[in-house]
Structure 1
């Protein structure tokens, strides 16, 4: 996989070494290293207890994820290839993040389910499996019961932001729900490939009807998702008994074949980026050797070439300088991006706060505790996803603007440039805990009403004493007034309790959104800083390469006319042979690149 790309890159690396170009050699070797480890991240998502962890275990033929009935995955678990079985906690929710302490095998389940062991944002498990050997990474995520309203939706969507394939897991017990379809629609916008897995077909005889109904629901929602019926027990029995029919009936060979095909697709796109690097490097070597060859001819063309390379050196020197135009564009545009994305986040948070206040004011008090939290969690997730799309769009615009100022030498750079803005994904989870007013019992409310009624009785009794009214006359009036005042006291107490409840809820919403704002603002600023640093480093390295090529070409044009005719003839033959070899490499890498670029419709 990618052997032809690596073969031509190895030849280009040898050419760069022959010409003493360590800068170009380093770029080719980095491309080869990325090509040798083409990671393909397969994220497994679904609601609680739908069989996500069982699916991962069945795919690998090993129990690596907890599947007990009374526990559930609480943090992302990354499963990748290793020489032996081992587990480590991760400092961030990314398979490339720093590995923390090792986790003994007996404690893996407790860490993954959040029931003990060292605290972790994520867990990485390595084991020797052929399916993982080529760079496939399986990601088991926490359940998303409630779709986007789930408190774990952000975790799943963060994983999807850098995923190559999503395997969405449901089971054959019931048709897809509205929350699942809503989540799938959002996930399909983040992940290029979505595969559906309908598990536990061995438990439910009506699974074919459920499969057909799920397909109809997805089609109605405008989602193109293939659904694969699966049975983990049949898979395990087939592996244990070496029963080919059971293995085929389990559905897992079909899922494995699909994942292998998607892995090859991802590797192919990585091959295109690597081939683009090779094309840029060999182009510079051809230009340098061409300049050396023309310098051996004392004619007008060589003089013109000398002047052209002198101008090219000046342009490359300008690209290297801190005051170059592309550097100014990068600085100015990144300042604008920082301000625009912060304003976007501020506007979205304020709008959600107003929306929440209106909802709190209109929602029946009895439903506040049950309904407000899921609604607010869903709206926050949607808000942050929309905000992330703004950040990514701004990143692409900045990269295009910088590449335009840099010039034609940036064409292959921009094609394979990974801006890395997706790795932050939606902001880390912030839990909403409605404070609620202190509950008032019906006994307390009764005492309030009793106090109001007592006041009515006292007023009536005092009026009777002053006016000299008889008790039979005072008693009915006292009863009426006491009843009225007791009712008024009850209503006032209810209104005061409702005002206190809504005021406490408003404060809880404000505190929650403030935490979301702080976390999201930090993640956004970090993403903008990473983008600026990546663009600056990438284009600065290319400017240095161009300057080296131009400078060496000018020097060769100035010195190659020295020496006798025989030495110059020998040198001409050497350079002609080298040019032929480099141009052959140029054609080869061009063909490899053309074969991997998407064909225009």
Structure 2
């Protein structure tokens, strides 16, 4: 099906070139480029040392991710197709970011495990593998020990924000824990497809019982996740020996087949989007040539048609102006969006600040170091996930509102141009970028040094000096009073010390949340600006196309009404032939859309 879409798009691009429509040809070429480089991102994540990197290596039949017992993946590693093995550092945690320095094969482990310096934010590896040739991208993420409380949970969740499939890795040594179930619950809300991989089944005889128990835990949490028992050693041994039975027993062929099926679905959705672009472009070409053909017939209604095209040109011109209704809706709704998401973040940060203060006041001092840090990290991750969800919902509402207003303003124009209705999926590919998830590494929740002890010693010492003046006379009373005062002094010192400890911890939490707020607010503002620019550029380009089509059609209609009979007859034959070809393309792309678009339930 993908090849059919490519063939039709190529024919439509040639038609746009023949009719001197570089704007429409550029639009088709962009769709062709997206179709030629499909990407199905499969994010592999799980707790530390559960076999994530071994799973990636086993899928590819090559050691591209570090798997030594004393090292662990520290930055995301993106593995995609390439004609030869090569690796580069990425400036940001995404496969589309700019590529930095090349990395040699001997240095891969050093970079992936975080020993290449803080500038290495991610690693991209390319190699020739059939599994990757269709656009599959495997993403190996750092371990998330502790679930949402993990300092690496934010990295995994950022990767999930653009993932098509999540493969959550656990092993057959133990059942899924509460932290893993909690993470999967959050991840399932971000990723459309979640699969479970139970590794190391060759090491644990009780693996079937573990898989069954994991399935029960997932079902109890309301999660529908297919589990794949896997053995990397069996996979590698089967590949070396060419033993098909060992390969099947390893479980990897089943997982590979499922990933291939998911990839086909992702590529199919890209094909539908590309076909929709083709339908829109060929519709405008047909409208323009139809106007020329009507003018050649000397139809008495041609004058009325020419006036209709002139009105369509004015309507299209209005759509291009900054004062058009859809532009006003975009400006107003984006201003509202910015205010709403910023207020949402402010309210959430303040609520977490109060919650943390209450927890600090109630928590035993000895537990501050052990409990507060992980709790705060988890709550921060949950906060940013909820904020991201709210921001995305508002962004979708804005995109829908602008699309509706643009469509309403252009409805009469589209009918006049006979473009064949709305373009499916015109705005649905506009994604709202996720906000960043700040790390808790800067928050030091260790116990502060004892304070107030010196002050307590000074108070006790001063009382002793005063009482010592009367020592020969009132020795018994002095001893009792000294003991009482020392006890009260020690209690006071302990309370002061505790107050100081909690005050310092509270200030540390406030500083951490201020950093989280600053980073998240910047990411949100950047995302809002990107969305506004994307919507403006998308609809402005469509308005310009409609204006060009209306202008050229009106001019063609006027020109066609002049000239001698012989020239008109020759031009009529040319247009009939070209319209037949374009309408054939129109029917072909329409049939593709029917096959590619999902059937409404």
Instruction: Tell me by how many angstroms 1:457 deviates.
Output: 5.5
Residue 68, structure 1, aligned to residue 79, structure 2: no
Structure 2 spans left out of the alignment, 5+ residues = 415-420
SS of the residue 2:48 aligns to: coil
Residue 43, structure 1, aligned to residue 43, structure 2: yes
> For residues 323-402 of structure 1, what are the structure 2 equivalents within 5 Å?
323-402=323-402
Instruction: Tell me by how many angstroms 1:451 deviates.
Output: 6.2
The answer to whether the 8 A contact 2:436-2:519 is kept is no
> For residues 13-24 of structure 1, what are the structure 2 equivalents within 5 Å?
13-24=13-24
Instruction: Tell me by how many angstroms 1:133 deviates.
Output: 0.9
> For 1:328-381, what per-residue CA distance to the aligned partner results, in whole angstroms no more than 9, with x for missing partners?
221222122112211111111111111111111111111111111111111111
The answer to whether the 8 A contact 2:48-2:144 is kept is yes
> For residues 99-114 of structure 1, what are the structure 2 equivalents within 5 Å?
99-114=99-114
SS of the residue 1:588 aligns to: helix
Q: Structure 1 CA distance, aligned partners of 2:563 and 2:457? A: 118
Instruction: Tell me by how many angstroms 1:323 deviates.
Output: 2.1
Q: Structure 1 CA distance, aligned partners of 2:163 and 2:183? A: 15
> For 1:81-130, what per-residue CA distance to the aligned partner results, in whole angstroms no more than 9, with x for missing partners?
11111111101111010000111221111111112367311010111111
> For residues 75-474 of structure 1, what are the structure 2 equivalents within 5 Å?
75-116=75-116, 119-407=119-407, 408=411, 411-412=422-423, 414-422=425-433, 424-434=434-444, 438-440=448-450, 462-463=469-470, 469=473, 474=474
Structure 1 spans left out of the alignment, 5+ residues = none
The answer to whether the 8 A contact 1:437-1:500 is kept is no
> For 1:448-485, what per-residue CA distance to the aligned partner results, in whole angstroms no more than 9, with x for missing partners?
777666666555554565xxx5xxxx444333323222
The answer to whether the 8 A contact 1:449-1:487 is kept is no
SS of the residue 2:301 aligns to: helix
Provide the TM-score with structure 1 as the length reference: 0.94
- Structure 1 window deviating more from structure 2 (506-515 vs 113-122): it is 113-122
Q: Structure 2 CA distance, aligned partners of 1:118 and 1:350? A: 31
SS of the residue 1:300 aligns to: coil
Q: Structure 2 CA distance, aligned partners of 1:439 and 1:200? A: 45
Aligned length: 590
SS of the residue 2:444 aligns to: coil
The answer to whether the 8 A contact 2:200-2:230 is kept is yes
Q: Structure 2 CA distance, aligned partners of 1:594 and 1:41? A: 26
Provide the TM-score with structure 2 as the length reference: 0.94
- Structure 1 window deviating more from structure 2 (295-304 vs 143-152): it is 295-304
Instruction: Tell me by how many angstroms 1:414 deviates.
Output: 4.8
Q: How has the CA–CA distance of structure 1 residues 358 and 451 changed in structure 2, closer, same or farther, with 3 Å as cutoff?
A: same
The residue that corresponds to 1:27 in the other structure is: 27
Instruction: Tell me by how many angstroms 1:236 deviates.
Output: 0.8
Q: Structure 1 CA distance, aligned partners of 2:456 and 2:530? A: 63
The residue that corresponds to 1:484 in the other structure is: 484
Instruction: Tell me by how many angstroms 1:79 deviates.
Output: 0.5
Q: How has the CA–CA distance of structure 1 residues 405 and 457 changed in structure 2, closer, same or farther, with 3 Å as cutoff?
A: closer
Q: Structure 2 CA distance, aligned partners of 1:166 and 1:451? A: 62
Q: Structure 1 CA distance, aligned partners of 2:65 and 2:446? A: 38
The residue that corresponds to 2:417 in the other structure is: none
Q: Structure 2 CA distance, aligned partners of 1:450 and 1:480? A: 18
SS of the residue 1:412 aligns to: coil
The answer to whether the 8 A contact 1:448-1:489 is kept is no
Q: How has the CA–CA distance of structure 1 residues 494 and 62 changed in structure 2, closer, same or farther, with 3 Å as cutoff?
A: same
The residue that corresponds to 2:517 in the other structure is: 517
Q: Structure 2 CA distance, aligned partners of 1:485 and 1:294? A: 109
The answer to whether the 8 A contact 1:435-1:504 is kept is no
